[in-house]
Amino acid sequence: MTLPALIGLIAFVAVPFLLAIVLSLYNVRIGQVRPPAFLGLTYYIRLVTDPVYSVPFLQSLLNNMVFAVVVIPVQTGLALLLAVLLNRKLRGVAIFRTFFFMPVVFPMALVAVVWRLILERSPDGLLNAGVHFITAGLVPAQDWLGQSSTALGSVILLSIWQGVGFQMIIILAALQEIPPDRYEAARIDRANAWQQFINITIPGIRNTLIFVIMLTTIYAFRVYDQVYILIKTAGANQSATQTVLYQATSAVFDQNNFGLASAITVVFFIIIVAITVVQRRILQQRGEG
């Protein structure tokens, strides 16, 4: 019964990862006449010691970390809040559920283009126009994507808006599985809404929350589409917004260096696996306590 899943896991995860390890040991370039030269661990060493390679890599890794540290708790907390609010028997609640889930259905390319218009640096940009109206013109138009201080925050805001609906639906499904008689018993014992939330809701969806947090972590570290589109089409600040995956694809398409891209991918994969394992153990220990 597990054979199809194992075949898919081997074909689409294990084999590509092993291929990336092999490619990272060679100087592989498209169109080269000579056979790929064996370099061993050269690219791995350069990612740590050579400023030409290490500085962009460490900056990209830092951007990924900041992105994940902000997106994981904020997006999960917002998804939980929306799920609790929409888990009520109110007239028209299905419309609100559809409204909040709608951004998930949109392709990331479309979402990035829409937010490019929102974050437009000119005074006619939607965000700049809104800030101008609220502050009565006291705050001038800002280059939200071009400034290093706001570029990554803009990408984070876009990502939370686009992805929160997916986590909301998962948590909402878990909330609907909690037996209603638990809340009835709590109300009989005169437990207020906050006490019901802490003692019934959270324990009832603990496993789902762990799953959502881990899933959000993986998505946060593999962020690429919106960064690529905003950098290439909207002139976003590259050093402040580029992620590790963006740097890896740049090594392929801009530098024609598959060996370097593979080394970056392997190192990043190991980092993600280590973070996921540690995160899972911490969440399990807290849940068991």
pTM for the structure as a whole: 0.86
Three-class secondary structure of residue 37 per DSSP: strand
Would you report the helix, strand and coil content of the chain in percent, each value rounded to 5? 75, 0, 25
pLDDT at 287 over 80: no
87-129: pLDDT as tens digits: 887 777 778 888 888 888 888 888 888 888 888 888 888 888 8
Q: Are 59 and 242 in contact (CB under 8 A)?
A: yes
Choice among 14-23, 72-81, 84-93 with the minimum mean pLDDT: 84-93
pLDDT band at 278; cut points 50, 70, 90: confident
Complete domains list, the chain, with CATH: 59-288 (1.10.3720.10)
Structure tokens at 256: 């024609």
Q: d(Cα 38, Cα 26) in Å, to the nearest integer?
A: 4
Q: Which of 154, 84, 91, 72 is nearest to 117 (CA)?
A: 154
User: In the chain, pLDDT over 90 holds for what percent of residues?
Assistant: 21
Q: d(Cα 224, Cα 108) in Å, to the nearest integer?
A: 10
Q: d(Cα 40, Cα 29) in Å, to the nearest integer?
A: 16
